[in-house]
Amino acid sequence: MRLDKYLAETAQCTRSEAKAMLSKGRVQVNGAVCKKGDTQLKESDTVAVDGRALSYQQFVYIMLNKPEGVVSASTDKRDTTVVDLVGDAYPRRQLFPAGRLDKTSTGFVLLTDDGTFAHDILAPKRHVSKTYTVVLDTPLTEQMRTGFAAGVTLADGTALSPAEVTALSAD
């Protein structure tokens, strides 16, 4: 990878800002000042800016506890999204939620920029199990368990996969 690209990704700056750091002698490669943005880095090279070591991370994975009222989306014109909650912490990353929770739901959402990994954990044929805790306004019946075990069809015709339902407590 070129040094200027590496700097832009690891120092969270633009390529022109990276070139400015290089021209001012603020960048060291393997302990020596380097001013050439087109320098090709090897995996074993160490890079530092102003003496602070940088570390390249190909993908980002963030475990987020989604609060109620936030939508599981990258962008939304009306509501706050799970990506909005991360703010500017990863400005050069195209983060998206790998999975969904309803706006009124709370719980774990994975944010990433690794599309292959997200596909692998979400693809129905991969059978990655998920656990949800739900509060019901009526007691869980055997008929409900049987219905979920067979797979529920929503009012809009969407067929959901079979699910195992277990009562955590009897209120």
Q: How many CB atoms lie within 10 A of CB 31?
A: 7
Of 100, 65, 103, whose CA–CA distance to 85 is shortest? 65
d(CA 134, CA 107): 11
Query: In this structure, what DSSP letter does residue 126 have?
Result: G
The answer to whether residues 150 and 156 touch, using CB atoms and an 8 Å cutoff, is no
d(CA 135, CA 69): 17
Does residue 102 carry a catalytic annotation?
Answer: yes
Look up tokens 């009012």; give the residue: 155
The residue annotated as part of the active site, out of 50, 79, 102, 120, is 102
Catalogue the active-site residues: 102
